[in-house]
Amino acid sequence: MESLIGKKAPVFKADAVVNGGEFVENFSLEQYIGKKEVIFFFYPLDFTFVCPTELLAFQAKLAEFEKRNVAVVGCSIDSKFSHWAWLNTDKNNGGIKGVTYPIVADLTKTIAENFGVLAGEYDYDEEGNAIFIGAPVAYRGTFLIDKKGVIRHCVVNDLPLGRSVDETLRMVDALQFFETNGEVCPADWKEGEQGMTASSKGVAEYLSTH
């Protein structure tokens, strides 16, 4: 997979469901440029097992993201109608009722493909028929996009491996700390801790106190 770090996030316009049940056409991440950072995450499918735990975990921490002026947006290859049905299904029945952030419908799989997280690829068989090799869904990709629309962090998990929302928040804090203070963040840095200047002297000073 070619890294998108430091590059502009791929542009798209697609159907989405927002506020837990409202259909929106031509939804785009471009609406956030100059205004907010974005956590844009992919998950494999609606009405599955690991996926609802992740979407509900993002919802549980949504106030923390909003406090940091960060938009959270989910995406899978399901239709907007599947998203709507899942959003209106109770949690005890496998649903994600109560999720309010936007969920994008990537029916053509082009968004996942452009972000490099499609878990397979299109090909042709010996008779020239189009086939799909692999799983026609997205890996669990998470992208941190800055206010200029540039991808600053990404992590991609295989299908069985649920992601850490707390780690996603930590990376948001690290990016905002760097942009505010101009100091870089060492290993396992957390909000409220000391950063260090990007120089040999700055590294030495940091290490001398830890």
**Over 60: is that where the pLDDT of 103 sits?**
yes
pLDDT at 1: 59
**Contact partners, residue 3, CB within 8 Å, separation at least 6:** 154
**How far, in Å, CA of 176 to CA of 70, rounded?**
10
* Domains in the chain with CATH codes: 14-163 (3.40.30.10), 164-210 (no CATH)
H or E stretch including 87? Answer: helix 80-87
Percent with pLDDT over 70 in the chain = 93
Taking CA atoms, 95 is separated from 1, 17, 137, in Å, by 32, 15, 19
What is the per-residue pLDDT across 125-172, written as a single tens digit (0 to 9) for each?
888 998 889 999 999 999 999 999 999 999 999 999 999 999 999 999
Catalytic (active-site) positions = 51
Q: What is the pTM of this model?
A: 0.91
